[in-house]
Structure 1
């Protein structure tokens, strides 16, 4: 465990080959697919990271993002994924780590829309304790052609770069050199952890199948309380906050 923790602290990300069993993945897939089809119940939490109006029935959501899905289906919080990922977050960054928010990101088949290079911390308010860990759980076989994660190993000091929005309400993105970027293929039930300052990216999905991912974001309990005091619940507009 200490080697994994050291790798996470040094590089800003780490790969865990098996977080969940296939049965546990299958139970998550069923819940996930239910939420994907529940456009009315998730309307206030749902958007297309590729930009554009994801609610037009004539259009396809290329990169569906659903923030805080457990507020729509609270049973998600009882799934083993949340318990196991939390323990990993505590092992990586300390016993005061707690779940801040969850998120679903699905790349639809044959859409080929990239998630551009960005740092998650660009979305967040400035906090005195910057520890964070985002657990990106693969619910499908993920590889370069359908949108696996790519990371740039962290430098000693990773400042938050200037970010802009993609057109029509799309994701934040930044300009960066990606010469030393590493792609991280995963099997269903595998995951990565990365911190908020780590630059990451994923290619579009050029295959005939979905690329489903559940993301669980952890930070110190006191920092979550600070966010909530300032009205931040991770359901609002995407913009650079820092």
Structure 2
């Protein structure tokens, strides 16, 4: 009789100094089992239900993007506000954090479209931010052929770039041609695993070549003390009537305590 190996888990208590150092050097880290496979399946079911009631923000072939799940769905709110995940992110960032927003990123079966290399930060109207990072939690198994992510280690050191076109294979390299020659690391994930990446890190995802959807829940953490910039426009802040130069309001962007 063969006994299945227990799934590795990652908690704030067993996050090592070596892992923190690797994140700060490379701009990303793979964390196995930040949630259990049982919870991943529960959240995946909630994600599938949410897509029937929440409009697709991206509305394109690359992926389905559902925003602000924590304000619409009690089950997914648990994951977005998960204190262990927030504690891990805070340790990696080294500064107090608040929620920017969450999102479901779903690649349809055999969608045929890659998410091309890009940075996240240029899409956000932030100023004075010391650090921002995204926790990309796999709610289903994400092998290489289902749309897992590839990172360019160390590319988080590039800042001040314009936003890149997620549908254009060459756009990231048009603004940062030196990245064409850098090492790339592809990270397949089991359901419940997570990658956390710096907001300036160049990353991409392959098309989904399988017959099942790729479902990822992303929690974006930002410097709790950043201030709102005048641009770019953003669907999370634009409807709120906020004042440029002010800190984000806690009721829409809750702080996480260490």
The corresponding residue for 1:222 is 225
Do the aligned residues in 1 keep the contact of 2:98 with 2:221 (CA within 8 Å)?
yes
Alignment map for 1:174-189 (pairs within 5 Å):
174-175=172-173, 176-177=179-180, 179-189=182-192
Whether the 8 Å contact between 1:149 and 1:185 is mirrored in structure 2 is yes
Question: Gaps spanning 5+ residues in structure 1: where?
Answer: 51-61, 237-242
Instruction: Give deviations 1:126-171, integer Å, cap 9, x for gaps.
Output: 422230110000111112211101000014831243334467xx9x
Shift of 1:228: 8.8
Taking structure 1 as the reference length, the TM-score comes to: 0.79
- Displacement of 1:66 in angstroms is 0.8
Distance 2:97 2:50 in 1: 27
SS in structure 2 of the partner of residue 137 of structure 1:
strand
Task: Give 1:179 deviation, angstroms.
Answer: 4.5
Aligned to 2:39: 24
Match of 2:214 in 1: 211
188-197 or 137-146: bigger deviation: 137-146
Structure 2 length as normaliser, TM-score? Answer: 0.75
How far apart, in 2, do the equivalents of 1:12 and 1:111 lie? 28
Counterpart of 1:154 in structure 2 is 154
1:74-128 CA distance string (max 9 Å, x none): 4422348722211111111235112221011000001121001100011012422
Among 47, 53, 56, the residue aligned to 2:58: 47
TM-aligned CA distance change 1:150 to 1:214, over 3 Å: same
2:83 alignment counterpart: 83
CA distance in 2, matches of 1:85, 1:97: 12
The alignment yields a C-alpha RMSD, in angstroms, of 2.8
Gaps of 5+ in 2: 1-15, 174-178, 239-258
Report the structure number with the largest CA radius of gyration.
2
Aligned residues: 217
* Correspondence 1:49-64 to 2 at 5 A: 49-50=60-61, 62-64=62-64
